[in-house]
Amino acid sequence: MSQQPRSEHPFPQFMRQDWVNLNGEWEFEFDDEQAGDGAHWHSGSRPFSKRIQVPFAFQSKLSGIADPDFHDTVWYRRTFSKPESFNGKRVILHFGAVDYDSYVWVNGMLVASHEGGHTPFHADITDALHDGDNQLVVKAVDYSRDVTLPRGKQYWLADSASIFYTRTTGIWQTVWMEGVAPVHLSKVKFTPDIDRKEIEIRSFVQGFSPEKDVRLQVQISFNGEPVAEDLFRVKAGHESRRIRINDFNDHGLGGWWTPEKPNLYDVTFTLLEDGKPRDEVSSYFGMRKISIEDGKLCLNNRPYFMKLVLDQGYFPDGNLTPPSDEAIKRDVELTKEMGFNGTRKHQKLEDPRYLYWCDRLGLLVWGEAANAYEYSEEYVRRFTKEWQESVERDYNHPCIAVWVPLNESWGVPNVQIDKLQQQHVLAMYHLTKSLDPMRPVVSNDGWEMLKTDLYNIHDYEWRREVLEDRYSTADKAAGAMPANRRLSVSGYAYDGEPILVTEFGGIAYKKSEWEGWGYSGAENDEDYTDRLRAVIQPLLKSGVVQGYCYTQLTDVEQEINGLLTYDRKPKIALEIIKAVNEGR
């Protein structure tokens, strides 16, 4: 396990010591009349009438506003001063996520614009700064009623209903800034190869000039002990090196990363210019491999049964934004305490702090996009851009095991017959493989699959005998129509891919003040436990199914089919759920 503290840094896989958190109270204004641009609100001359707690969206209680109505254009403003430690450095302003379009001004100068509600962006704001107080203004524009917008579970109607929840508009992840040298490391990419006992490190240097003597020192340690070191001359803005890791063997007795033993290697990057340190970044990686061998889904070359839980990533008072880092960590701990070894983050690109805790505590994560609901050419453009940014952001996390760009034909509702939509699904599959060849990709999780690495089925059947029969053979499983939907698009029949049931269960059980619905209902604790066994045990004993994803971790708004209530209270003892997951 990594022992290096990364106390609430918003991007703990790429951390400098010199950073400033800009969360907290900001001035805020709705702009329902679209007056802000014409009145030059970005100049900062007009006072805003409200106050908001960033990074919580105005729809949430923790924002201090808690207005669930439609306000698609909003403005933020705050002042900040440049720390003395930033003197002589470039100042980079970071946004974790702003839903949906963003425009950022510093002292009246436009420094950034970004499209996409779930992915990060940044800007070099050095030339816009002056001594003393500086003014930061952000305009966010959402399109709440546009069903072709990549939105995940955010509902386009006024009130939450069915499987859709409260909307998020504007800033909903951390805003922060850091100071960097003019020549600095902009990013790194880790690709572990456990078969060759090597880690490939691709480094990207900003501000590089061939005339300068720039060198990159890489120091790798494990449990505080040095493992490997490299020093090389930077001759281009992008370099690639392979470093051998000698402290583990193919029996898994050393440093491999698994949910059971989440071993992490710490890395320190030091960029030297003319022999003098100019930039230092701390990071980490895990040595692990996800592969499909002879039809078996494997972790580190061994078949591995994935026991996942569906996690919507919503919180009662913060909506998409967790109330604290401790709350993030606790969700990971609760998931593990119930006997799950992974989670499918559903229709949300989760905060990097969540992935950090999964890396550190040991929990597999299936990275899933926030999908649109309907298809259009504009949707294709928007979605492709945001998905590329998503894969780029999370590539380095050892916990990320599988990519799920599309779910249940969201965004492609006519994929069974529409050639354009079919080509889009295929394009997303191949695009993802081109960005990350080391992880499996699911073309369309649940049903109506085309080319896919895993054959994933959504099945909310609750009768034990039906599940036992349906998953007794691969042919029966692949030929089923659990949601009255074909599992494969015509021309893309099941071809021996690992079969997983990636949504099932959904047992409703009311144990709090929240009213709601589920896919089947329990009357008391004993009935609930029996119903859990009835849906989980047939999959464990199938011999055909190689993993499952139970719906779901918590109740969410009008849904009461969580293993936990919305405020994270277990509906039955955690050890009982763990026993069920273990086949007991």
* pLDDT of 4: 35
Strand order across the 184-193 sheet: 184-193, 198-206, 238-244
What architecture (CATH level 2) is domain 19-179?
Sandwich (2.60)
Segment holding 546, helix H or strand E = strand 545-551
Q: Which residues pair with 291 in a beta bridge?
A: 298
DSSP for 247-303 reads S--TTS-SSBB-SSSB--EEEEEEEEETTEEEEEEEEEE-B--EEEETTEEEETTEE
Tokens matching residue 82: 């440049």
d(CA 283, CA 279): 13
Q: Assign domain 184-285 one CATH number from 3.20.20.220, 2.60.40.10, 2.60.40.1080, 1.20.1530.20.
A: 2.60.40.10
Instruction: With 0.75 as the threshold, say if the pTM is over it.
Output: yes
Strands 214-222 vs 198-206: parallel, antiparallel or unpaired: unpaired
Strands 24-30 vs 121-124: parallel, antiparallel or unpaired: unpaired
* Segments in the chain below pLDDT 70: 1-7, 248-253
Count CA atoms within 13 Å of residue 91 on its CB side: 22
290-581 topology per CATH? TIM Barrel (3.20.20)
DSSP for 514-540 reads ---B-SEE-SSHHHHHHHHHHHHHHHH
Tokens matching residue 232: 């090389």
**Domain residue ranges of the chain, discontinuous segments joined by +:** 19-179, 184-285, 290-581
Amino acid at 325: D
Cis ω before 68 (30° cut-off from 0): no
What are the pLDDT digits (tens) for 160-200? 989 999 999 999 999 999 999 999 999 999 999 999 999 99
In the chain, % helix, strand, coil (3-state, to 5) comes to 20, 35, 45
| 158: Cβ contacts below 8 Å, ≥ 6 apart | 69, 70
* Cβ–Cβ under 8 Å, residues 331 and 338: no
Tokens matching residue 127: 């030339």
